[in-house]
Amino acid sequence: MDKKGVAELKRRFTKENCTFTRLCGCYVDAGKNKVVDFSENFLNLEDEEFYKYLEIAKKSLSGTVGNNLLELQYPLEEEAAGGRQQFLLGLRESRLQNPELLERFFDMVIENYDYAGNYLILLFHDAYDVITKTKDNLTLDESEEVFEYLLCAICPVQLSKPGLGYREEENRIGPRIRDWVVGVPDTGFLFPAFTDRSADIHALMFYTKDTKEPHSEFMEAGLGCPSRRTATEQKIAFHGIVKQAYGGDTEKSQDVLMDIQQNLNERIEAQEEDEEPVVLTKETMTTVLEESGVEPERLADIEKKCEETFGEELPLAASVVDGKDLAANEQLQRQKELTAQVESLQQQLKEKQMEEDETEDAVKTYDVVLRVKPEKVPQIKSQVIDGQKCLVIPMDENEHANVNGRSTTV
């Protein structure tokens, strides 16, 4: 499932295009107790509720594919009878109208979702009539298939902040009444995945707001899928491996890591036209590390740690390149260039000042000091005029002279 598929679904989350058939929810307190659950016909909701829930649905498919949105694959055992995939298929087929299946689903989330606080579990059902598209993306008035899916959003519920407000009944300013507010989704998923504009029952799209610490325990124990690292986690892991290879030499490791990122970024930019992402294969890794000046023994150590950490799930080059680091380094290089230019200008000014000082010293030492262009030197002659010894400098009509700072012509 790619960003085009995500965008196609999200475009429908508007008042005019929305076709959600049902919304079910369960509010859970910090002690993992069910406080209240509900089931509603989505299209019958009051406008204020309708738009708020629609906003939550959009947030559950927001962010970057590969970072906030991860496609998880079901292992074969979960597709057998009694597996989590089979359970979600049954829940989808019930169109969220089977209380027993809903109860089991909420219990599954509560048991496997590790969160210290109150939260709201929301489950949407939708049936999207997928319209056929031509090769040039023009739509045809013909249904290709009905994509029936579930969208889950798990939202933290927190007390509103304390503050002052107008208490109408008492006609005074006083402490505001604090209530429990549903926040944006922390975790969620779409099942089945919407791959090539069709249902892929062997996969689901997992959403996480926090890309540094996604709920991998829920991916595995709750949804029954092998967990995957987000792009942020891959970046942190890779950077940690490089830094660890250089031990306590922080400055050296930072320089090498920056060189690695720049070399990888050059490959990414060079391959943009092909629309194929650069995968950090062993061959690519070796070449980039060598180009970045990594010593053979450290290179072997980095490669070994990467193989142990990532296994067969090799990260994309874009996942381990930190755009902020590159931008900061580019800014630093500009500052260094400007500093070098300033130092060069200062040196030139210093040399100029020394020349002027030498000239002033010469003026003090000699009665006459001449500074002429080299080609004029052979033309200077000594001549006695009216009994007075003179220096004669021939000048053409178009030539100018500067005498003690004043410009003059012949």
| Residue pLDDT, tens place only, 231-266 | 999 999 888 888 888 877 778 888 888 888 888 888
Given this model, what pLDDT does residue 307 score? 86
Q: How far is CA 6 from CA 57, 173, 370, in A?
A: 12, 47, 81
3-state secondary structure of 402: strand
Least confident of 174-178, 301-305, 325-329: 325-329
* In a shared domain, residues 49 and 20: yes
What band does 362 get if pLDDT is binned at 50, 70 and 90?
A: low
* In a shared domain, residues 312 and 404: no
* In a shared domain, residues 191 and 129: yes
407 falls within a domain: yes
Given this model, what pLDDT does residue 20 score? 94
Instruction: Between 364 and 66, name the one with better pLDDT.
Output: 66
* In a shared domain, residues 264 and 175: no
Mean pLDDT for the chain overall: 86
For residue range 128-167, list pLDDT tens digits in order. Answer: 998 877 666 555 656 678 999 999 999 999 988 888 888 8
* Global pTM value: 0.76
Report yes or no: 122 and 24 within 8 Å, Cβ to Cβ: yes
* In a shared domain, residues 103 and 216: yes
Given this model, what pLDDT does residue 26 score? 96
Report yes or no: 223 and 113 within 8 Å, Cβ to Cβ: no
Given this model, what pLDDT does residue 348 score? 81
Domain final residue, candidates 228, 262, 287: 228
39 falls within a domain: yes
For residue range 328-358, list pLDDT tens digits in order. Answer: 766 766 777 787 888 888 888 887 877 776 6
149 falls within a domain: yes
Given this model, what pLDDT does residue 30 score? 92
Distance of CA 208 to the CA centre of its chain: 14
* In a shared domain, residues 107 and 240: no
Query: Kind of pairing, strands 388-392 and 381-385?
Result: antiparallel
* In a shared domain, residues 248 and 218: no
For residue range 188-200, list pLDDT tens digits in order. Answer: 999 999 998 889 9
CA dist 233 and 212 (Å) reads 6
184 falls within a domain: yes
What is the mean predicted confidence (pLDDT) over 64-77? 93
Q: How far is CA 184 from CA 30, 60, 155, 192, 269, in A?
A: 18, 8, 6, 22, 35
Question: Can you read off the two tokens belonging to residue 109?
Answer: 């989330």
Query: Is the per-residue pLDDT at 326 higher than 80?
Result: no
349 falls within a domain: no
CA dist 169 and 385 (Å) reads 113
Domain final residue, candidates 228, 250, 272: 228
326 falls within a domain: no
Give 398's contacts (C-beta < 8 A, 6+ positions apart): none
* In a shared domain, residues 52 and 73: yes
Instruction: Give the total number of structural domains in the chain.
Output: 3
**Cis ω on the peptide bond leading into residue 192 (within 30° of 0)?**
yes
Query: Kind of pairing, strands 118-133 and 139-159?
Result: antiparallel
CA dist 201 and 74 (Å) reads 9
Instruction: Between 397 and 111, name the one with better pLDDT.
Output: 111
* In a shared domain, residues 391 and 272: no
Given this model, what pLDDT does residue 255 score? 84
* In a shared domain, residues 194 and 305: no
By residue range, what is the domain housing residue 410?
Answer: 370-410
Given this model, what pLDDT does residue 358 score? 67
20 falls within a domain: yes
* In a shared domain, residues 85 and 175: yes
339 falls within a domain: no
What is the mean predicted confidence (pLDDT) over 298-304? 87
Partners of 120 in beta bridges: 27, 155
Give the 3-state DSSP-derived string for 109-154, with helices as H, strands as E and coil as C: HHHHCCCCCEEEEEEEEEEEEEEEECCCCCEEEEEEEEEEEEEEEE
Report yes or no: 71 and 193 within 8 Å, Cβ to Cβ: yes
* In a shared domain, residues 219 and 159: yes
Query: Kind of pairing, strands 20-28 and 118-133?
Result: antiparallel
End-to-end CA distance of the chain: 85
